[in-house]
């Protein structure tokens, strides 16, 4: 016989326990029911989580590769497009002359006229002068200019001298804008537009005389033409070039003239519609044998003198320092032409003037 130990009389004890869902019911002998709510422990599947994280990282990596691919593709297309804008059309551009040293070439701004015009910087060994000059070889192609009567034409001698001046400036580290480098016919309007849009600080037009001018017909010597408003910057440019030429040795320095050959009330278009200081240099008359002899014997010396006169003017006007570093923060503008007006804040207004189609 089993003896069952009974709890002391009056002591509470559990008589039954039931579970229903998340509820636990505990019944006591005194009729009290204790209700307990409990949470069922959830199982965490770590292996599934690891797989999901791996798949997510794989997707992110794949998307980044796709984005990078399209980004690089777009970038390459953009670079190619930009590079193509700097290629001259071979049907419109003369083949650039080569030299023993590498030359840097940049294209004239998009709104400049097409043709044989180009912009070239100094040779790699001569970089240093932060100056831009536009050199214009007068006439060209069917526009013969003056003649000595023996088969030599001004257009050819102008181009020969202009190319020599270009080379001298480049050797001194100057960026040179050429209105033409071949026997081509460029309108005077296009020459002015090219110079203005290129940002050149000076414009020098190369010529040989030979007209029946009341000023100097039959008189040997070199002359410079400047706008008849007597702009001081333009005058300084012309004077410095003439002085440099005179030091080389010329038959006569005729000095600076203002206006147009035969009319002080008119101007050469290149001295009217260019915005920078400009002048037209006439390297003697093709009708005077002494001038022709001097030109033939001193071509290189003349070119070096013209280049030196331009650089001297740039230093005097504060465009560049003696060491060639840039001082002026913008393009140099003429201080006296009627088509260039300075407003408050040093902003310039440029007006292209209509005028008679004067030959030059």
The reported pLDDT for the residue numbered 220 is 74
Please name every residue paired with 164 in a beta bridge, in sequence order, or none if there are none. Answer: none
Encode pLDDT of 109-147 as tens digits.
Answer: 444 454 556 666 554 344 568 999 999 999 998 989 888
Q: Supply 285's token pair.
A: 């008359």
The reported pLDDT for the residue numbered 21 is 67
Q: Supply 257's token pair.
A: 């003239």
The reported pLDDT for the residue numbered 58 is 86
The mean pLDDT value for 303-330 works out to: 97
pTM of the shown model: 0.65
Encode pLDDT of 172-201 as tens digits.
Answer: 999 999 999 999 999 999 999 999 999 999
Looking at 44-48, 178-182, 209-213, which range is the least confident one? 209-213
24 pLDDT tier (thresholds 50, 70, 90): confident
The reported pLDDT for the residue numbered 213 is 53
- Using CB atoms within 10 Å of the CB of residue 167, give its burial: 0 to 12 exposed, 13 to 18 middle, 19+ buried: buried
Please check the confidence at residue 339 and state whether its pLDDT lies above 50.
Answer: yes
Compute how many other C-beta atoms are within 10 angstroms of the C-beta atom of residue 84: 8
Please check the confidence at residue 12 and state whether its pLDDT lies above 70.
Answer: yes
Compute how many other C-beta atoms are within 10 angstroms of the C-beta atom of residue 281: 26
> How is 315-354 classified by DSSP, letter by letter?
HHTTSB-TTS-B-SSS----SS-TTEEE-GGG-EEE-PPP
The reported pLDDT for the residue numbered 202 is 98
Domains of the chain: 103-350 (3.40.630.40)
Please check the confidence at residue 344 and state whether its pLDDT lies above 60.
Answer: no
């Amino acid at each position: 016989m089993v003896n069952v130990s009974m709890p002391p009389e009056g002591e509470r004890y559990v008589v039954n326990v039931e579970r229903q869902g998340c509820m636990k019911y505990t019944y006591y002998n005194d009729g009290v029911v204790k209700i307990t709510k409990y949470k069922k422990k959830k199982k965490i599947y770590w292996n599934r989580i690891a797989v999901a994280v791996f798949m997510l990282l794989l997707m992110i990596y794949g998307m980044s590769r796709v984005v990078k691919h399209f980004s690089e593709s777009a970038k390459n297309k953009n670079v190619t497009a930009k590079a193509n804008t700097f290629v001259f059309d071979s049907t419109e551009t003369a083949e650039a002359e080569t030299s023993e040293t590498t030359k840097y070439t940049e294209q004239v701004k998009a709104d400049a006229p097409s043709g044989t015009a180009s912009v070239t910087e100094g040779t790699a060994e001569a970089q240093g002068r932060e100056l831009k000059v536009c050199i214009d070889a007068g006439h060209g192609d069917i526009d013969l200019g003056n003649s000595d009567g023996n088969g030599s034409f001004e257009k050819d001698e102008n181009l020969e001298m202009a190319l020599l001046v270009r080379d001298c400036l480049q050797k001194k580290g100057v960026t040179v804008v050429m209105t033409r480098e071949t026997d081509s016919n460029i309108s005077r309007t296009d020459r002015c537009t090219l110079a203005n849009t290129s940002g050149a600080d000076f414009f020098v037009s190369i010529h040989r005389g030979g007209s029946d001018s009341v000023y100097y017909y039959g008189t040997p010597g070199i002359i410079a033409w400047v706008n008849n408003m007597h702009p001081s910057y333009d005058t300084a440019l012309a004077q410095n070039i003439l002085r440099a030429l005179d030091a080389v040795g010329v038959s006569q320095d005729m000095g600076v003239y203002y206006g147009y050959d035969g009319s002080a009330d008119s101007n050469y278009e290149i001295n009217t519609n260019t915005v920078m200081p400009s002048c037209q240099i006439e390297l003697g008359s093709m009708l005077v044998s002494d001038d022709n002899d001097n030109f033939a014997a001193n071509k290189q010396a003349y070119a070096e003198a013209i280049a030196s006169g331009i650089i001297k003017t740039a230093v005097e006007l504060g465009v560049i320092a003696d060491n060639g570093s840039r001082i002026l923060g913008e393009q140099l503008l003429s201080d006296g032409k009627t088509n260039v007006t300075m407003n408050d804040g040093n902003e310039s207004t440029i007006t292209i003037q209509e005028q008679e189609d004067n030959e030059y």
